[in-house]
Amino acid sequence: MTFDFRDNERRMSLHLTARAEAIAQAMRPSALSASPRSGHDSIVPYQTTHSTGGAIMGADPATSAVNAYLQSWDVPNVFAFGASALPQNAGRNPTGTIGALTYRALDAIKSRYLQQPGPLAG
């Protein structure tokens, strides 16, 4: 997977960093360093990133790869468990959300899909 920041992400970083810096300045810190993202992305300095995306979950097969049960819209016996279903990272470790979505999908597979294979969402 290749990932890099686009202009919109850089502009969002500039905006958010400026707002966070203004809030921090209001608290009168003895020192402050603000660094909006710039340049290319690199996982080298921070290798525990939680990359997401690739098989986005959604309610419409035209704009998403899997339904709310992490089931492929195109191939109903394919399920994509993991962070690939999340369109973006919410800024925190997504493990709890991934676990909850996986548990929900597994429950639906056990209680509905195995009795009647096919789409779980329509």
50 as an active site residue: the answer is yes
Round the CA-based radius of gyration of the chain to a whole number and report it. 19
Task: For residue range 70-106, list pLDDT tens digits in order.
Answer: 999 999 999 999 999 998 877 678 889 999 999 999 9
Residue 70 burial (CB count, 10 A): 25
- What is this structure's pTM? 0.64
C-alpha span between 14 and 69 (Å, rounded): 36
Q: 71 - beta bridge partners?
A: 79
Domain ranges of the chain: 1-43, 50-122
C-alpha span between 102 and 70 (Å, rounded): 8
The catalytic position among 50, 61, 76, 109 is: 50
- Retrieve residue 45's tokens: 């300095």
Task: For residue range 35-52, list pLDDT tens digits in order.
Answer: 888 888 877 776 666 778
